[in-house]
Structure 1
């Protein structure tokens, strides 16, 4: 009985053990199936990483490389068999040539110095984004990279490593650069097109459209800051006849030459515009009416001295000039400034042209004494004589010059005797300065005629023994311009016009008629200035007795650097010393 019971118990135990063994076998099989499934999943993940279009780097918690895909092999030239399992920043060597932290390491350990090596870096939560150029990649060809790094966690939620995807964006960067260059080129082209739309293609000056735009802005600025603004308009008189006689090609050349001349003559910040056809305009920011009229008159005088055209054909231009100003002319908007200037220009043309006209001329001032006492009639008679003289092919230039000088002597005996000595000193100074023979000849001719303009000054002023009034002195100051106007029709004498026109300018810029300064005064005019003043000082005048030569020389020396060119003063003193030795 006992034995039978023991057998039954043993049988149950064996069956239990058998059941457990079967269960264990099933469990082991399940584990094998799970392991196989995990292995397959792992392999699939490795395959995905391997064939992923971006380069992929994966490191474990000990910073050992556990994934290095085909794209990364191609990028760095390092095979996975040579890098898998390696740590101690070995994965940075193919990129930077040294062991150092890279973006994937910054996931766990921020490093500002390393972050500074990237062109761009951004953190979004636990994910890092960066952009960098690395020269060593692709065998030294280099590449721009867009990099993304993120942490990897185990099933317990603990960080087990990190993954970094690296995308080659070189082609994109190249396309972006090309697009940037195209945009720059487009911007530049648009700017050039805008400039072309605002410029006259024939002369290169700004056009009417630009003037309207800039005038609105400048007028508003002048009104806001209470600063003056002036507009000058210039119309080439009888220009259609130039086209008719010489042809439109020549007329176009004259317009281009005039545009260049105009740009050079005005100030750098003045705005020069071809207003249309043969009309030009100049905008003078920060310039009041008095200064604008002075500049316009100076421009007119300079134009009258210039030749325009080509070497084969050149002509003198006559122009009408008008000036209007804010606030003096009480204009309230920019369009009014144009309207007033245009109206004044028509007035100038109605008066015969070749003059400057402004609202001040609407009620004409009384004539200066310079034109009283028969001055105008004598000027007209003399100009008529000179025009006839210019047509006489047989009369020599020198004879003409001396004929003019004698004309002056008949009016003012002092002027006649004064001229002879002035000519002597002027030519001696020119020779002492070793000027070319042709220039010395011009100085001689100009010295003979330097006071020719006194023919247009009243005799009562020239012979007055008392102090001149301001009006009388103003009339006398006009004689250089009168002289230049008289001989302007004679082409052979054009070379001496600047010497006559500027011989009363001073080295320090305080002379007349234009206030030229220093080297801007022609050297011939500077020479005549010294010879003229010295001869005047040692001569008796209606209002004073002559100074001694010693006193006159002392006064000339004192004027060096202010009234006179110091170099020419020294040359003059040498001439005087040499003459003393000869006597």
Structure 2
């Protein structure tokens, strides 16, 4: 091995070891840091997902709390009125609030109303039976010990995990007692998980903790999560995942969450290390070449010259030869001088031989230099002679073909094409000096430039059969006389470039389709605000075609004149390189205006702004919805008057500053609760609407009239003195009198109070309390009269209905009086029994006519509704002083001796004596009276039935006494 080669080997080996050490150390440090960074990012993303899930549960809890703390719900849990269901629990509510289940459960644990909804198909479905185990009497979800107590979280159902919230049912003012609970639920299904994924912009997977049914990676991770709250594991070289457990509402792990994310940092690190390796290799190669060049120039080349000269003289016996003169004053120059001096005497005799050896030496050197140049060319290169045989095959082509130089040198017959194309065929190099149209045809691209040819082709045999796109260059080789002696071809792998070109073309096509078919209106402007291009969305939104607006200034086309300054400001902002957004108004071709959301951003090419993109989104419907929502938020749904929120807003505004007197009138509808309890909420709503008409009609349209509670109204009168406010209150009273004259069946009673102040320092809420107190004083004065009026109305209604049973109440009084006197009751008790016989069914005025006058058997639901007449009658009696003594008997007059009656299931002597007497008399009269659906029984048949149910429905002793009294009478 020559000294030159040894030197090269030492230099290259030194730099290879250096590259391996540096790259290995860097790889270890970077990989470790990237792993720690990935784990930290995954932990942060899992915490984000937990927070989003908690916010979703919290929003559900707030929704449930709003509904549960509401007077309407507070009433609904007792009377289950259909008006509440129709106005609040339609399908729209479930869709808007993304609810799957709503349950109303009373204090006894009974589900008063429940509704399930399928958000996928937008239709009502039955409530799953599996939810009932969570709302039993002893369940955590139903135990609300305080009015602030609420429970929310996740429960597992056979249908899937569900987000739930359970809140105690209270009044709007969050007052008790608690009448039950409201439960709302939302399935944590695929759609909901997708919704959460979109919020956090991550791939989420949530599974029940069922080891045998979970995917393999979940099964492997589950035991590890018992020790660590979060487990992070790479899925492959492109994605990493984090796992954690989610607890249910009982605090037990029930779900496993998987968060997947791209390993962007890892890929970036790998790319960086690849570029570091390339840099080290290139740098090492260049430095090695530089050192080699310096050594060659300073030492090796001089030594080689001297050695070659001496060898040449010695081998050929050319004693007249001379070694080259060495520059400088060193050992090499002295040695050359000594050798030349020794050979001086023989110079003349060996001149011919010396010239010959010099020529040979030059040719050898030139050949070696040519070989070196070809060998280290970066592109795959080979050379053939005129016989089509390979005479040069460099390192680069060895690498890409896998064919060593020694195996190909000297071979012809297109042997060099086999590694590239899999068969022996002419290549680009074979077209030098000749034309072969068939050979040219196999290239996708061929071009001649002088004697040089360029071509592009796909080589299927490259890279183990994977194939590659190649760029080839072929040129002829000439000797010193200009004769063609061969050709050279260089090949470059351009597969990656072709992929990039294809991707760029695809991206361009995608962008064009996105621009063209986007539903939003998009316009491309140049830097002077002239329209360059518009899409279909723009044409549809503003009614212009491209031919009409191309080259026009955007401000002249769609900007209303009053908004030209605003548009100019927006344009200037975007021209500074910033993105801007704004909601504003733009003009269509027909002159109509449209609400739009504008998004403008600069178009940059090589960091130079060349134009502007502006996206217009039609937000007309959203603006209209916002307007409707604002109206709903400030107005009462039933009456259309301003609501309490708006009233308080006005009070706060006046509180902050007013410059003259102000008056407040408070109105309260008397007896509304009694009407609701007896005649139903529909009649109560009718009474409220009548009160609204009376109060609203007593004021100007500009006066502020608000419904601030269930039966409370308030009127704010600014710039009004005490005389004007008192006159206004009198107008209400006159209107009430006029209404009652035309509606005697259900008169309207309203308590009124007012307060006036011109003291600007007096707080508005103090003035409000003064008016409220004045109203309540009047309410206390009139309340008994109002209730009596309503009760009298109900009594008349009962009397009007009695024609159906042809004097049932009168006959019943006669029956109970005879039995009462037969068992020795006092006359006071007899008098009370008369009242009970007359008014025991007064509660039926609150039962719908379709049930009360049904000619056939009642359905189970209708029977439950009919049973309510006892409670309704009890409340009516409590409101009438004359009926208070018999209120408890009205409540219990349908109890049975065996305890299977209603509403309390009392039995035997627990049932008041008066109720036991009435039960027997009522049954006897019903059996012996004609009904639309059956004929009357005889006395004897009725007695048989009484004996049959003695000890079951009736007190057996009283049955015997009743039969004895009336058998005697018949006798």
User: Could you say which structure has the greater relative contact order, defined with CA pairs below 8 angstroms and 6 or more residues apart?
Assistant: 1
Sort the TM-score into its range (normalised by shorter chain): 0.3 to 0.5
* TM-score for both structures, normalised by structure 1: 0.37
Higher strand fraction: Structure 1 or Structure 2?
2
